[in-house]
Homo-oligomer: A and B are copies of this chain.
């Protein structure tokens, strides 16, 4: 089988989030230990995110989010900072009926790459990160992943202790 999962596992840097949507309290990877985490990094004005990756994250959340899979969005604004504000993101999330928790990646204060995006060395958006139950990063993928390939990888991680 051609697995898309990395080997060996790598450490998953903690999230550095300025504010949250769709959750009553801030989330951390530490608190999510024991669950498989799907981290969906996106920008609200990135066409491939809007068309493919964000709906896929929402579908994952709807189907599997009630159990031991946590789907987390991360708004990693690295361009058009002046218009992809938290208020704009909130309107986008409302209009598209997104339900999964979304964090605003902490800006660097100089219009550059935000903190978590930098810590993960993400190349752009969309990026999909898979984190196993032990908090280890098993995938860090720039670009869209087909549903079948992603599903098989998630199924494998869910089967681990």
Contact = CB atoms under 8 A, between A and B. Distances in A.
A21 interface: no
Identical copies in the complex: 4
Interface in A17-59: 45-47, 50-51, 56, 59
Majority secondary structure of chain A interface residues (helix, strand, loop or mixed): helix
A134 B149 CA distance: 23
Contacts of A63: 2, 148-149
Interface in A81-102: 82-85, 87-88, 91-92, 95-96
A155 B157 CA distance: 8
Nearest to A68: B1
Interface in A101-127: none
